[in-house]
Amino acid sequence: MRTDRLYALTIYLMNHGKASASELARHFEVSVRTIQRDIDSLCVAGIPVIALNGTNGGYKIEERFTLNHQLISQDESAYILTALKGLTSVSGNAGLADTYEKFSALSNGAQTGLILDFSVLREGDEKLLADLQRAVRERITVCFGYTNHNGQAGRHTTEPIAVMYQWYAWYLLAYCVEKQDYRMYKLVRMENLELSDRAFSKEHPAADAVLQEHQLRIEIYYKRVKTELKIKCRPEAVYRLKEYLHGQVEEQMADRSVIMRLSIVEDEQWWIGILLSLGDTVEVLSPLSVRERIAAQAEKILNLYHDI
């Protein structure tokens, strides 16, 4: 157990740069005295841990130190290789493919039994994804046309922090120069991207830190309010609702119909299309507002074909 903690402690210091004894004690759920003994053990083992004195003191590992790849178990190596292969399927980046090949040579044929194929996530515009990744790496400003969820179009100048896949779509997490705040932009709503030669106007926190600090504001900005639907459907529609909308069966009716519950984000459109595509095999029972919205959409479609 202590050996595992010493290894984990080494990794933590390598990843975080510097940490105080109290921070390490909280993270590993041990006493400060135990952490101090662990640090002594690491030094005896030849790992170059440096003690920093003062108010902002703590421990850090010399930057020249690296771990021998043999310290990674075969199972751990297999999981890393699987993740790399999945990431390679997302991007056509030649450098990423080379990284996978190099790591594969060190894995000794380790296997997880998992295949992660994310090629569908490319959304048909690999150049846009590659250009944004380049802007993130080189820390340069980008400009693009953007149409928001209300149909309002405009031109945006941003400092890209990360490209991320979330909520079934690719998004750009960036600092908006005009708003002087962090925003998320859906890639499919972007057009005419221009990479400038202007460097970032300020130092930005890491993507994870931005998300943690601004997540509530971002969710409000996109109005991601979930609504629970109660739906009655015929047997042939059950598995489609499970597959496409993650519906859960709540009750079996005497006439073989089924009552299901599922959650949707009202500001999104794709779930309406799925429900309409199922025709008269599904009926929204509640809430009334969604039931009325479905009926209004169906009436508009019907009016288009009134002359048939």
Q: What is the per-residue pLDDT across 222-270, written as a single tens digit (0 to 9) for each?
A: 556 789 999 999 999 999 999 989 899 999 999 999 999 999 887 778 8
Residue 65 has pLDDT above 70, yes or no: no
Across-strand partners of 258?
233, 252
Provide the residue type at 9 as one letter: L
Are β-strands 248-252 and 169-176 bridged in parallel, bridged antiparallel, or unpaired? unpaired
- What's the chain's average pLDDT? 83
269 versus 280: the higher-pLDDT residue is: 280
Q: DSSP assignment of 224-283, as one string?
A: --EEEEEEEE-HHHHHHHHHHH--EEEEE-TTS-EEEEEEEETT-SHHHHHHHHTGGGEE
Write out pLDDT tens, residues 196-208: 989 999 999 888 8
| Local confidence band at 276 (pLDDT 50, 70, 90 cut-offs) | very high
Q: Which backbone phi and psi does 97 adopt, to 5 degrees?
A: -65, -40
- Average confidence (pLDDT) over 71-79: 70
Using CA atoms in the order 31, 32, 34, 39, what is the torsion angle rounded to 10 degrees? 150
**Alpha-carbon torsion (118, 120, 126, 131), positive or negative:** negative
Residue 29 has pLDDT above 70, yes or no: yes
Q: Above pLDDT 90, what percent of the chain?
A: 35
| Local confidence band at 75 (pLDDT 50, 70, 90 cut-offs) | confident
| Local confidence band at 307 (pLDDT 50, 70, 90 cut-offs) | confident
Write out pLDDT tens, residues 154-207: 999 999 999 888 777 789 999 999 999 999 998 989 999 999 989 999 999 888
Write out pLDDT tens, residues 88-137: 777 666 666 667 766 666 666 667 677 777 776 665 567 888 899 899 99
Spatial contact of 184 and 172, defined as CB atoms under 8 Å apart: yes
| Local confidence band at 61 (pLDDT 50, 70, 90 cut-offs) | confident
